Amino acid sequence: MAAVTEEILEHLAAVSFVAGRDARAALPAVAPLGAAAELRYLETGRDLFFYDREAGKGFFHGTAELVAAFGGLDPWLEQSRVFLTQRGTFRAAVGFFAQAAALRRTLGAEAELVWFDVGTRWLAQHVDSAAAYFRLPVLTLFGSEGVAGLQALMAPAEALLQGRLGLGTYLPGALRVRALCGLEGVAEWARRGADVLAAGRVRGEAWFRLESEEARSFLLEILPGFRLGVHKRLFLLLLQAWTGLQPPLEDGDWSAEGGRAFVETDGRSLFVPAVMPDREEALLAFYHTGAHLAFGSYEEEAIHALFRELGMAHPPLDAEQRVTWRPLFAQFGQDLLRFQMIFDLCEDLRVDACLDREMPGYAARLLRLAQRRGRPTGVAGAYYDAALGMLAQLGAGTLPEDLAALAQPRSGIVDSFRVALERYGDTDLPPLGLADRSQAYLPGRSPNAARPVYPTRRHPAREEMELDGDGGLGAAGHEEEPREMPQEAAGNDPDLEIPPEDIQGTGGRVGVGIPMPAKVTGAGRGAKGPKGGFAYREWDYRHQSYKEGWARVHERALREEDGAEAAALAKEYAGVLRRMKRALQAQKPTRMAPLRRQFEGEEPDLEAAVQYVVERRAGHAPKANIYLQRRPRQRDTAVLLLADLSTSIMAAAGDGGVRIVDRLRAAMLLFGEALVEVGDPFALYGFASKYRDEVLLYPIKRFGDPFDARRRAVLGGLSGRLATRMGAAVRHSTALLQKHPAQRRLLLILSDGRPADYDDGGDSRYLQEDTRMAVKEAQDRGVHAFCISLDPRGGEYLPLVFGPGHYLVLPHIDSLPQRLPEIYLRLRGHQS
């Protein structure tokens, strides 16, 4: 060893025992390169260690791998000296020394040079960004696109640095966007993010971290795959055709960065993600998840029996009376996910066998898709293979004895649980974590116990039926008495659940007061409505008394939005809107209200002035607030517009092809614009019903919500659904108005017909009388109710319900958009 080399080693040891030790330990890897190479190496290591101890340690620790990967000291030794040019580079240096060798071995010399050059540019501009860059795992950074992919990933970041956004914020989000949407998606996401960043730093950082709702929504817009939005109704109809079910659809809580997308259920609704990999998987997911509802996975008696297997008399329920599954799996401790997966394998096989009997070829479709999709990596692949094998055996008729029992028509979820217990006791499937579990399911399948569930009653379509002597379908040969019932019309209804009854007859428009004879056979209503909600009494004129807690109101968000339709309506009525806004300027508050006891003003406040003089003469020093000011008086009026969204609004309004709903959308849009202009607090709600225990109120805009693009888009997507139980909707709206602090409260009801529902027995007077009492109750509570009706026969019953002067029948539907704001302003003026 040369003397100068030994001198450097001793110098390092004198400064730091650790440095001397690490240098000597690293030197054997360099010694074969010659004395000159040793000296050059130690000089660089010494300089780095004296510059920053952590950088020096990283240098010595990485030496052996770096020399082996590069075949010597070049070019990494010279590259390492770049970290001497800036202060605070130790984190970047440590990342470089830890990863350069692996990058050189796996991706080659060109990739290492490009990686280093990009990092060097960032080191000169922003040291913290360079540290985030060099410390990020290189294989993650390059992805599958290689050098071109790295350059495309980093290109947008250069411009973002001008907005003071570093790589520590940009890279984690960019990598997730690339994984989901590809490099083109990253470029588009970064371009939009630059505008967001320019509008506000906090908002921009939330965008690039994917923490804001606008960023997540944007990802859904650019995410490749099959978009379910416009197809959900079709898929639901196909599910109904095969299973007899049409559950409500809800937007799933899946997010673009949240991993694999599943269709899930809570025993009542289907929760549907915005995007799935392809159409076939989306359709099979609808079938499979719906089949769990149809074939008893969440049936109440079966769930009770399942928990009795564990010695529990009743399943645990949460605050919403949903079954929570965790106690079912908690007995398996840390291994609960493994048992849950085995249980899902057995129950999915049972359900798919049931569905395959109803839908021949379903299992073969699922098998083909699973084989085409390919086995996931890691431990998830073992479960995927197990599910694939079971499905193949089902198709070939070669299931082992225990699984064959699950393919029998009378099997249930308790049988699946018992088979899962036996298989768990003798399984070679590996333990797994949550991330592995999400990848372990076949396409179309999903975790069965991911959500708490509402236990369901046995579905009527699955119960045994037989023909009676006359050939009519009845329960055990009994033909039920026919009853009058309004029949449901066609409409685009995300909450639609067609009653499981065989309805024959011409039907009538629900909500317009023309119930037609309808012969109803079967078991009547198939299921109770959802639990929870708000209970209200209902007036029964036949007994002249209230039925306490008889009707239940549920607030439910409208999921359909159509911003394009809202924009088209705004353009169509632009002239009307301009004229209306000019007219509204005259409606601005002009009456002057006095403000007393002011320190300055137009005239003296006599009462305050007298008191001031009296206190002065008494020897006090009163404040000279003895003036009176006059200011424009604000009309303190709050209004809630309640729109009837029954199926009848989907009907044509005349020979021109215009539907009632078209004018309703425009009217509510102009009404909102008018209220924004005049400044009164307002709320927009729609309502519909399906039986007394499921009266649905749809908040379009609550008090306090802005009337923004989203609310306008909801108005643009309004559609008809179900029936018109108006009394309960009026009572709930009254309660909402009473919570508002305004002195005057107006409930403006927009309807196209008389109250009606599926369980009113054909008695048109029953719900009409209940609505009359609800309006009277509102008046007693200080809420003024006024009805605008589109029903040409409204004059027959509206005076009885709302009273003379408290309703208006519009003879021409086309005038509704213009008239609605005018009517409100007149009512407002009368109340001031």
Question: What is the pLDDT confidence band of residue 477, given thresholds at 50, 70 and 90?
Answer: very low
Going from the C-alpha of 412 to that of each of 105, 267, 310, 347, 421, the distances in angstroms are: 55, 16, 17, 8, 15
Q: What is the mean pLDDT of the chain?
A: 83
Q: Does position 765 have pLDDT exceeding 60, yes or no? A: yes
d(CA 114, CA 151): 8
The secondary structure of 539-551 as a DSSP string is EETTTTEEEEEEE
The model's confidence at residue 519, banded by pLDDT at 50, 70 and 90, is very low
Answering whether pTM is above 0.75, one says no
What is the rounded radius of gyration, in angstroms, for the C-alpha atoms of the chain? 36
Which is nearest to 763 in space by CA: 491, 539, 546? 539
The tally of CA atoms less than 13 A away on the side-chain side of residue 330 is: 7
pLDDT-derived band of residue 85, with 50, 70 and 90 as boundaries?
A: confident
Question: Could you tell me what percent of the chain has a pLDDT over 90?
Answer: 39
pLDDT (mean) for 678-687: 91
Who wins on pLDDT, 549 or 225?
Answer: 549
Segment among 25-29, 258-262, 821-825 with least mean pLDDT = 258-262
Least confident span in 488-502, 540-554, 714-728: 488-502
Confidence class of residue 829 from pLDDT cuts 50, 70 and 90?
low
Measured in degrees and rounded to the nearest 5, phi and psi for residue 197 equal: -65, -40
pLDDT digits (tens, 9 = 90+) for 377-422: 899 999 999 999 999 999 999 999 999 999 999 999 999 999 999 9
In the predicted structure, residue 190 carries a pLDDT above the cut 60: yes
Handedness of CA 233, 234, 239, 245 (dihedral sign): positive
Comparison of pLDDT for 70 and 219, the residue scoring more: 70
Q: What is the pLDDT of residue 265?
A: 92
Helices 90-107 and 109-125: angle between axes, nearest 10 degrees: 160
Least confident interval from 32-41, 313-322, 408-417, 740-749: 313-322
To the nearest whole percent, how much of the chain has pLDDT over 70?
87
- pLDDT, mean of residues 787-793: 88
**Cα(513)–Cα(6) distance, integer angstroms:** 104
Q: By mean pLDDT, which of 217-231, 374-388, 727-741 is the weakest?
A: 217-231
Choose the weakest-confidence range: 244-253, 491-500, 557-566, 725-734.
Answer: 491-500
CA distance 216 to 723: 36
Residue 274, φ and ψ in degrees, nearest 5: -70, -35
| Residues 228-239 pLDDT 10s | 877 888 888 888
Task: Supply 294's token pair.
Answer: 């149809």
The token pair at 275 is 């995007």
Residues 6+ apart with CB under 8 A from 602: 627, 628, 629, 630
**More confident of the two residues 655 and 329:** 329
Residue pLDDT, tens place only, 7-36: 888 888 888 888 888 888 988 999 899 888
